[in-house]
Amino acid sequence: MTRAMTLCKYKYFLPTFFLLACVGCSPLLPWTDGVPMHREVSSLPSESGCRIAVLPFLNDSEFPQGGLLVQKVFAAQLLSSGEHLLTPEGDIVKAYQQLHLLPGAAPTLEQLRIVADRVNAPLLLTGIILEMREGRSEHQTINPQLILEVELRDPASGEILWTMFHRRKGTDYNKTMHFGTLHTVTGLCRQMAEEIINLWYEKGFSQCNE
């Protein structure tokens, strides 16, 4: 199966405004100019943001264990940025095993609802990695690149409430942030997770240490 065909298989997870053009089933992903693209489909449940279940990310890239890496980075950033209470990863793994969900498999809305019920989560965080790789800059230094979508979901239905699309490469920060190029996928992922979460706070997402 080609990468374009795989992306089309995951069109369900991508909001309509992200311009997925299926001409020969090839995705047309927008350039965000360094700013995450935010969309609110529906309001978040009241007082839900302090407790979140960060579920395994789908990985449509060729980067090994990319989904696990991004899942752990987002969990760590939520803990450090807002003192959120996270569902233990072991509880999530157990719920997935009970549903016979294999690593990297896309759960259905019903399965998401069941997972939320079994781990008692008032809010779900899911996502998909569209691209993750360690390329090279014009100076032949490592220039990581990452494209992803992150969603906040209703635990009662599994439906998307808020969604964010973001794409960055390490050299972006040499000019915009003035602290130098990021040379690792992990470092780039941490920075992008921070940008996404900070924008959520600006949009009214609960910051639990306030």
**pLDDT digits 0-9 by tens, 21-70:** 333 333 444 445 567 899 999 988 776 668 899 999 999 999 989 999 99
Q: Which domain holds residue 60?
A: 37-202
Q: Is 172 a domain residue? A: yes
> What contacts 60, CB < 8 A, 6 or more positions away?
3, 6, 7, 10, 128, 129, 130, 131
Q: Is 68 a domain residue? A: yes
Q: Is 106 a domain residue? A: yes
CATH number at residue 133: 3.40.50.10610
Q: Is 132 a domain residue? A: yes
Sign, CA torsion 191/103/142/130: negative
Q: Is 2 a domain residue? A: no
Q: Are 83 and 208 in contact (CB under 8 A)?
A: yes
Residue 132 neighbours by CB distance under 10 Å? 23
Q: Is 17 a domain residue? A: no
The number of distinct structural domains making up the chain is 1
The DSSP element (H or E) to which 161 belongs, if any, is: strand 160-169
Confidence class for position 182, pLDDT limits 50, 70, 90: confident
Q: Is 183 a domain residue? A: yes
Q: Is 117 a domain residue? A: yes
Q: Which carries the bigger pLDDT value, residue 82 or residue 102?
A: 102
